[in-house]
């Protein structure tokens, strides 16, 4: 009964809905010309050795529905050829487990081999992805395996439906009506995740509510787990560390207290009774006011290992390394390293430490986190933010694959004679992305933000993929297959994040967003209770200069990196200009490699960012013949917003810097149209995602 319901639910909605973005990259729009003719010649039956296994049945159903879409078949019951065109073997002994698959062509047959059913499901999506870009089915050969075991989304969704740092409407999780009613959106969400290899979902906010561990919520999670299991997706929960006190009646949550450990063991047993493949717990502890083991003078390892013992070999504890305290007066970016590196080798085997891509907080650009490579005896997991808390929310076009590629490809300078990249460091564990989905019809608040969800999954499967190739394949499945239009869209995406960096945080600036909502510029905010909540803490600008000195003469945060890496960034004369003000305090009149002063270079960067956004808007207008009117208009309207807000960023930032040093704008630079006071008066108490 369950399988029939799921199979019926996976029919794409293109025939029922306008081009409103709901179908994501799974539109399977009809092919044309030679690509269509090749697929028509290949069209035939799909067979499997074990077709009744739920995930195998899904693999067949997804492939058939996708092929019918590509062939333009309105009647999905239409007969295909009498021969076998696709044959699944989902219990193949020569294929590695974990989702790997092999696709081999022979005459008019594609053989799909995998060690387990989920590998066959991934293969179906891979076939459709390739055919949707015009690949010839008679020569389609793929041999693919995930680079890392855990490819996860972290939802910052709250039980009342509010999404922290979410810009696409309300939460997609209808906790109020679960478990009795499962929204169809949960199935469509699972399809989208499985299509890019995502295999784990943390369904609630890391700022967790203890009552979500109560039996009534466990039943809700179990309904989700049952629905997602055929798609290869395991449910994980954010757990509040103080739950034994909050809902358990204990007087302590000390991880070394036997009663506390017993409570968590019993809770884990209760969850596994309802969800046999429960993934485990994600924990945010002793950060931003959340309870944790340090409340009892215990270490992060003490807390994580106690929970890990309760899960046993059934699941995993994912312990976030995002920690900072108001009492540390040195440099916030140093705190995670200082707290976790001494614990290397002390974490249990089923504990993963989840590390943000950079040492601060999901900024438009940061250097890679110094923890990567510095804890060789501990499993480390990458955490990136798919939702754009600091990159213009859902209204700014900012394709994030280039950001993640910068980090994944960074050489940590550690790991022996052949040093390891960040991607190699995290390979035994995985990647987590803070989800950007919501109740908006297009899922992510804008059409282009779908690409970040897609790109995250593709890079978690294979971090060696180029951001350009991911952009092109996403655009071909989402918008158009026209080669010239694809080239334009791909170029727009590739340059978009750099444009945001330039008009928001050029030359290594960071965290200059307005306070609380992080919407728009606020470099003048200097009076908040905690020093590290203030943008002034990070840019340190005054009449003489700007930038955070992280050399030995300053906070010495550079010392947390390997010597070879430190050498790249230690000298302001040779450091990559993109990181200059992150690591160095620089005088406004310093002569830069361009021959301009720092002040003139900064103005140049802001202006270049504005110009890049104007170019995005112009390029998009040329694509009107290739994009349906509804989505073309929606993107154009967002780009118009971005054009206005890029100028706001440029003008407000420059007005503030000028108020400190009094220097004139360089010759030819556009004047600042409003006063600093005008920019400072802007307030946005209704900004989404707070």
Task: Please indicate, yes or no, whether residues 266 and 365 belong to a single structural domain of this protein.
Answer: yes
pLDDT score of 325: 78
Choosing from 444, 478, 512, the residue where a domain stops is: 478
Residue 434 located in a structural domain: yes
CA quadruple 642, 644, 649, 650: dihedral positive or negative?
A: positive
72: Cβ contacts below 8 Å, ≥ 6 apart? 30, 31, 36
Q: What is the torsion angle, in degrees rounded to the nearest 10, for the CA atoms of residue 388, residue 393, residue 397 and residue 402?
A: -10
Q: Is residue 164 part of a domain?
A: yes
Residues facing 597 on adjacent strands: 591
Confidence (pTM):
0.96
Asked whether the predicted pLDDT for residue 11 surpasses 60, the reply is no
Identify the pLDDT of residue 80: 59
| CATH number of the domain where residue 612 is located | 3.90.1330.10
Q: Go through the chain and tell me how many residues it has.
A: 690
pLDDT, position 78: 52
Question: Is 490 domain-assigned?
Answer: no
Let me know if residue 409 belongs to a domain: yes
> Between vectors from CA 347 to CA 333 and to CA 152, what angle results, nearest 5°?
70
- Asked whether residue 136 falls in the same domain as residue 162, the answer is no
Question: In the predicted model, is pLDDT for residue 432 greater than 50?
Answer: yes
Active site residue 164: no
Residues 6+ apart with CB under 8 A from 443: 21, 22, 24, 168, 192, 437, 450, 453
pLDDT number for residue 329: 74
Strands (E), 287-335: 316-320
500 vs 642: CA distance, rounded Å: 9
406 is catalytic: no
Residues 93 and 177 in one domain: no
Please count the structural domains in the chain. Answer: 3
**Predicted local distance difference test score (pLDDT) of residue 10:** 34
Do 222 and 125 fall within a single domain? no
What is the spatial distance between Cα 266 and Cα 136, in angstroms, rounded to a whole number?
54
Verify that 212 and 294 share a domain, yes or no. Answer: yes
Order across the sheet with 45-48: list the strands.
Answer: 45-48, 84-89, 109-114, 101-106, 142-144
Comparing CA positions, the residue from 522, 548, 546 lying closest to residue 533 is: 522
Q: How far apart are CA 504 and CA 523, in angstroms?
A: 10
**Cβ contact 451:474 at 8 Å:** yes
In this predicted structure, what is the pLDDT of residue 637? Answer: 98
313/448 same-domain check? yes
Q: Which one, of 330, 338, 238, lies nearest residue 283 by Cα?
A: 238
Are 292 and 339 contained in the same domain? Answer: yes
> For position 35, which CATH number holds?
3.30.379.10
Q: What is the pLDDT of residues 456-466, one digit of tens each?
A: 999 999 999 99
Q: Are strands 109-114 and 101-106 parallel, antiparallel or unpaired?
A: antiparallel
Domain end point (choices 114, 144, 174): 144
Which residue in 389, 473, 514, 605 is the catalytic one?
389
In a domain, 571, yes or no: no
Residue 564 within a domain: no
The pLDDT score that the predictor gives to residue 330 is 82
Tokens of 184: 């169809």
| pLDDT band at residue 139 using 50, 70 and 90 as cut-offs | very high
* Helix axis angle, 401-408 to 450-461, nearest 10°: 30
Residue bearing the bigger pLDDT, 42 or 327: 42
Please report which confidence band the pLDDT of residue 326 belongs to, taking 50, 70 and 90 as the band edges: low
Domain-embedded: residue 525: yes
524 with 427, same domain: the answer is no
Task: Quote the domain boundaries for residue 543.
Answer: 502-548+585-680
Q: Is 373's pLDDT higher than 60?
A: yes
Residue 680 has pLDDT above 70, yes or no: yes
Structure tokens at 208: 């967790």
Give CA 308 to chain center in angstroms: 25
pLDDT at 82: 67
Task: Tell me whether strands 45-48 and 101-106 are parallel, antiparallel or unpaired.
Answer: unpaired
Decide: helix, strand or coil at residue 625.
helix
CA dist 202 and 434 (Å) reads 9
User: Is residue 518 a part of any domain in this protein?
Assistant: yes
Query: Do 166 and 142 form a contact (C-beta atoms < 8 A)?
Result: no
**Is the domain of 473 the same as that of 600?**
no
Continuous segment of H or E residues that includes residue 351: strand 351-356
Average pLDDT in the chain: 95
pLDDT of residue 77: 53
Q: Is the domain of 392 the same as that of 471? A: yes
Residues 6+ apart with CB under 8 A from 6: 54, 58, 187, 227, 230
446 half-sphere exposure, CB direction, 13 A CA radius: 26
- Judge if 109 and 249 occupy the same domain: no
The token pair at 4 is: 């029939």
The predicted-structure confidence for 54-113, as pLDDT tens digits, reads as follows: 999 999 999 999 999 999 986 655 555 668 999 999 999 999 999 999 999 998 899 999
Q: How many C-beta atoms lie closer than 10 Å to residue 594's C-beta? A: 11
Q: Which of 32, 34, 288, 678 is catalytic?
A: 288
Which range has the worst mean pLDDT, 61-70, 233-242, 528-537, 585-594? 528-537
Question: Which residues, 6+ apart, have CB-to-CB distance to 77 below 8 Å?
Answer: none
Same domain, 140 and 154: no
Q: Determine which one of 68, 254, 339, 361 is catalytic.
A: 361
Is 361 among the residues known to form the active site? yes
Query: 191, 233, 146: which is closest to 458 by C-alpha?
Result: 146
The continuous run of DSSP H or E covering 45 comes out as: strand 45-48
């Amino acid at each position: 009964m369950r399988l029939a319901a799921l199979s019926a639910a996976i029919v794409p909605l293109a025939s029922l809905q306008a081009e409103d973005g709901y179908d994501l990259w799974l539109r399977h729009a009809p092919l044309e010309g030679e690509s269509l003719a090749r697929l028509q010649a290949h069209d035939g039956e799909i067979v499997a050795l074990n077709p009744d296994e739920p995930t195998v049945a899904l693999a067949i159903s997804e492939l058939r529905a996708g092929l019918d879409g590509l062939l333009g078949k309105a009647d999905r019951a239409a007969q295909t050829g009498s021969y076998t065109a696709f044959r699944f073997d989902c219990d193949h002994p020569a294929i590695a487990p974990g989702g790997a698959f092999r696709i081999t062509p022979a005459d008019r047959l594609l053989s799909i081999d995998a060690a387990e059913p989920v590998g066959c499901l991934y293969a179906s999506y891979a076939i459709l992805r390739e055919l949707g870009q015009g690949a010839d089915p008679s020569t389609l050969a793929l041999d693919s395996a995930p680079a890392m075991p855990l490819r996860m989304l972290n939802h910052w969704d709250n039980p009342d439906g509010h999404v922290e740092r979410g810009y696409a409407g309300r939460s997609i999780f209808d906790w109020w009506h679960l478990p009795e009613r499962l929204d169809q959106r949960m199935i469509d969400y699972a399809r989208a995740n499985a299509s890019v290899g995502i295999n784990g979902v943390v369904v609630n906010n890391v700022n967790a509510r203890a009552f979500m561990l109560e039996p009534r919520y466990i039943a809700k999670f179990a309904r989700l787990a049952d629905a997602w299991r055929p798609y290869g997706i395991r449910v994980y929960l954010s757990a509040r560390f103080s739950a034994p006190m909050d809902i358990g009646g204990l007087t302590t949550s000390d991880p070394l207290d036997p009663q506390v450990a017993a409570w968590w063991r019993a809770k884990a047993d209760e969850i596994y009774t309802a969800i046999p493949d429960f993934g485990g717990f994600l924990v945010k502890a002793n950060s931003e006011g959340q309870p944790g083991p340090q409340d009892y003078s215990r270490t992060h390892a003490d807390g994580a290992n106690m929970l890990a013992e309760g899960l046993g070999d059934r699941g995993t504890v994912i312990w976030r390394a995002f920690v900072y305290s108001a009492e540390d007066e040195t440099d916030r970016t140093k705190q995670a390293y200082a707290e976790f590196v001494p614990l290397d080798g002390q974490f249990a085997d089923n504990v993963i430490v989840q590390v943000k891509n950079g040492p601060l907080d999901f900024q438009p650009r940061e250097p890679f986190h110094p923890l990567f490579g510095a804890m060789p005896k501990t499993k480390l997991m990458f955490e990136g933010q798919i939702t754009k808390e600091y990159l213009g929310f859902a209204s700014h076009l900012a394709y994030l694959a280039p950001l993640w590629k910068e980090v994944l490809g960074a050489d940590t300078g550690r790991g022996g004679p052949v040093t390891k990249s960040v991607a190699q460091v995290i390979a035994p564990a995985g990647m987590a992305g803070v989800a950007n989905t919501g109740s908006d019809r297009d899922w992510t608040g804008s059409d282009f933000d779908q690409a970040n969800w897609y790109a995250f999954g593709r890079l978690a499967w294979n971090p060696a993929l180029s951001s350009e190739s991911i952009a092109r394949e996403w655009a071909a499945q989402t918008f158009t297959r026209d080669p010239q239009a694809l080239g334009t869209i791909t170029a727009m995406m590739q340059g978009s994040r750099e444009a945001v960096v330039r008009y928001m945080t050029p030359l290594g600036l960071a965290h200059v967003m307005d306070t609380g909502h992080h919407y728009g510029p606020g470099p003048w905010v200097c009076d908040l209770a905690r020093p590290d909540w203030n943008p002034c803490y990070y840019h340190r600008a005054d009449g003489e200069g700007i930038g955070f000195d992280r050399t030995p003469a300053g906070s010495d945060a550079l010392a947390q990196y390997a010597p070879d890496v430190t050498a790249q960034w230690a000298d302001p004369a040779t450091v990559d200009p993109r990181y200059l003000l992150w690591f160095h305090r620089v005088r406004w009149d310093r002569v830069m490699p361009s021959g301009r002063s720092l002040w003139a270079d900064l103005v140049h960067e802001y202006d270049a960012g504005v110009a890049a956004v104007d170019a995005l808007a112009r390029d998009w207008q040329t694509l009107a013949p290739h994009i349906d009117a509804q989505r073309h208009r929606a993107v154009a309207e967002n780009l118009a917003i971005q054009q206005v807000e890029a100028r706001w960023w440029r003008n407000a930032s420059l007005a503030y810097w000028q108020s400190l040093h009094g220097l004139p704008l360089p010759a030819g630079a556009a004047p600042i149209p409003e006063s600093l006071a005008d920019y400072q008066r802007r307030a946005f108490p209704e900004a989404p995602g707070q």
